[in-house]
Structure 1
Amino acid sequence: MAKAVKKQALGRGLSALLKDPNNDIQSATDKNADKVVGNIVELEMESIDVNPFQPRSNFNDDALQELASSIRELGVIQPITVRKLDFNKYQLVSGERRFRASKLVGLATIPAYIRIANDQESLEMALVENIQRQDLDPIEIALSYQRLIDEIQLTQEKMSERVGKKRSTITNYLRLLRLDPIIQTGIRDGFVSMGHGRALVNVEEKQDQIALYEKIVGENLSVRDTEKAVKEYQEGKTDTNQNDSVSGKNQKKSTSNPDFVIKNLGTFTEYLSAKVDIKASEKGKGKITIPFHSKEEFDRLKKLITGE
């Protein structure tokens, strides 16, 4: 207990330092910055603004109430992280659930780690820390990864290092963004799982995605059943295309790929994060086609395939 009291007293002492206009810390090189940055400081709730870069957009009211009850009994166990904007003014980097729950309880102050960062660094910290620590839904995670790519220019390899996830895991999340928005909403609302989404993303036509999605929800299909339905769709699509391309005497009996191709097609698509077309005979002879739409995409595929 003595340790806890000492820790809170230290936080209050640092808070007083931050509220002294003669000790306004704006950069890591300023006087007394080393006493504040990285330490736990008790900050007034009203001095903190929410982060506009926050990737989480849905906050479950029941879960917030549960967290508020825990904070009421035990206090804020894990400090939030903020960045300094101005004199006695801060912006939330991570920990918005704790911040919101503390407001519900009516706390006047909250323990916080202070960082000094520009907007881009703040965005990166918010995205990375929320991916690691928060219970984001799969689409929110995918959007966070995409923002790291678009706004921070992180490659999937670098992102893998930053968030501690395999590159294939990141790729699987990003592929969900190819789904029709209706299906993305269904994943966010819990009507279907990420596993369902991973199967549906192999269907290129959005209207066909939605038709299969409605079948999944209506018939309560499992992920395995969904994968089977997608496989049947793809085989039916191939047969239809073959029938449409030939006529009269030249019309040939349509054939599907052998089992070894069908079984492994998803592995190629998942690893390369690209639509892969494989045609093969029962004897094992065939070809693999990998389309690309830009030099950047070509270079990405080359690196994955050759390792160079």
Structure 2
Amino acid sequence: MAKATKKQALGRGLSALLKDPENDIQSVGDKNADKVIGNVVELEIDAIEVNPFQPRTQFNDEALKELASSIRELGIIQPITVRKLDFNTFQLVSGERRYRASKLIGLKTIPAYIRIANDQESLEMALVENIQRQDLDPIEIALSYQRLIDDIQLTQEKMSERVGKKRSTITNYLRLLKLDPIIQTGMRDGFLSMGHGRALVNVEKGKEQLALYERILAEKLSVRETEQLVKQLKAPTTKAAPTNNAELPNFVSKHIDSIKKHLAVKVAITASQTGKGKIVIPFHSKEEFQRLKKILSGDKE
């Protein structure tokens, strides 16, 4: 208990040092910098501004209230990290949820690690530190990786070393950004898992992606079922299908795409100019047959 009190008192002492104009620390070479930089300091919350480079863009209100309640009872276990901007002015590098939760319960100060960094270093620190968090959604992580590539010019190899993830893992996240924005939003809101997203990204056409997305939600399809759907959609058309829609009568050819979209399979249609023809609907499993049966019969159960 005595150790904790001593540590807290030290943090408050450093806070007073930072508010002394004669000890305005701007670089690691300044006087008393070694006492502040890298140490935990009790900072006034009003002296801290939000980091514009923060990769997280969504904060769950209920989760923030739960965190605020925990902080009220137990205090802040892990200090936030800030960078010094100007005299007694700081910017968040990581820990925005703890910062927001602390403000929510009216705390005046918050323990913080202080770093000296330029904008690029701050961006890299914020992105790398936040990627390590467990509560970022897959799209937030993908966007963070993309920013490290675009703004820091990190190669996937270098990024793999920096964040401690396999290059293939990084590639899989980045591929999610090829999904239609509506599907990305669905992933961010928790309607789809990363597994669903990885399956859908193999579908090139946005309309087909969205058709499958709607079916996944409506029928609560598993990742495996989604993978099967994608595989069937990309499978070659059966030999019975004509190679050119122009060979089909107009009343058939103009509706082929809507039929494929509705069923989410590549149907084979043959028809003569007299109006006779047939539709072949392929399926490759019992589950797929049941899915098609529901669609064709209009069964919503």
Q: How far did residue 190 of structure 1 move?
A: 1.1
Distance 1:139 1:2, change over 3 A: same
Q: How far did residue 194 of structure 1 move?
A: 0.7
Partner of 1:144: 144
Amino acid at match of 1:106: G
Inter-partner Cα distance in structure 1 for 2:109 and 2:222: 47
Inter-partner Cα distance in structure 2 for 1:73 and 1:20: 32
Alignment of 1:197-276 (within 5 A): 197-236=197-236, 243-244=243-244
Distance 1:224 1:10, change over 3 A: same
Query: Secondary structure of the residue that 2:144 maps to in structure 1?
Result: helix
Q: CA RMSD in A?
A: 1.8
Inter-partner Cα distance in structure 1 for 2:82 and 2:156: 26
Inter-partner Cα distance in structure 2 for 1:10 and 1:32: 14
TM-score (norm 1): 0.77
2:49 pairs with 1:49: yes
Inter-partner Cα distance in structure 2 for 1:237 and 1:27: 66
Amino acid at match of 2:101: A
Amino acid at match of 2:226: T
Query: Secondary structure of the residue that 1:133 maps to in structure 2?
Result: coil
Inter-partner Cα distance in structure 1 for 2:239 and 2:5: 73
Partner of 2:189: 189
Partner of 2:120: 120
Partner of 2:94: 94
Partner of 1:303: none
Q: How far did residue 192 of structure 1 move?
A: 1.1
Inter-partner Cα distance in structure 2 for 1:208 and 1:239: 22
Inter-partner Cα distance in structure 1 for 2:130 and 2:8: 26
Q: How far did residue 246 of structure 1 move?
A: 12
Please list every run of at least 4 consecutive aligned residues from structure 1 whose deviation after the TM superposition is greater than 6 angstroms: 238-242
Amino acid at match of 2:209: Q
Partner of 1:65: 65
Inter-partner Cα distance in structure 2 for 1:177 and 1:241: 34
Inter-partner Cα distance in structure 2 for 1:227 and 1:147: 29
Bigger Rg, structure 1 or 2:
2
Amino acid at match of 2:35: K
Unaligned segments of structure 1, at least 5 residues: 248-308
Aligned length: 247
Amino acid at match of 1:107: L
Amino acid at match of 1:60: N
* Identity across matched positions, percent: 79
Inter-partner Cα distance in structure 1 for 2:125 and 2:240: 49
Partner of 1:285: none
Inter-partner Cα distance in structure 1 for 2:4 and 2:86: 29
Inter-partner Cα distance in structure 1 for 2:127 and 2:237: 39
Provide Cα deviations, 1:83-106, integer angstroms capped at 9, x if missing partner: 000000000000000000000111
Inter-partner Cα distance in structure 2 for 1:237 and 1:89: 64
Amino acid at match of 2:192: V
Provide Cα deviations, 1:23-65, integer angstroms capped at 9, x if missing partner: 0000011111111011000000000000011110100011101
Unaligned segments of structure 2, at least 5 residues: 248-301
Q: How far did residue 227 of structure 1 move?
A: 0.2
Amino acid at match of 1:123: L
Inter-partner Cα distance in structure 1 for 2:240 and 2:200: 20
Q: Which stretch of the first structure deviates more once superposed, 236-245 or 8-17? A: 236-245
Partner of 1:78: 78
Amino acid at match of 2:197: G
Inter-partner Cα distance in structure 1 for 2:41 and 2:86: 16
Q: How far did residue 243 of structure 1 move?
A: 2.5
Inter-partner Cα distance in structure 1 for 2:240 and 2:219: 26
Q: How far did residue 177 of structure 1 move?
A: 0.2
TM-score (norm 2): 0.79
Partner of 1:104: 104
Partner of 1:169: 169
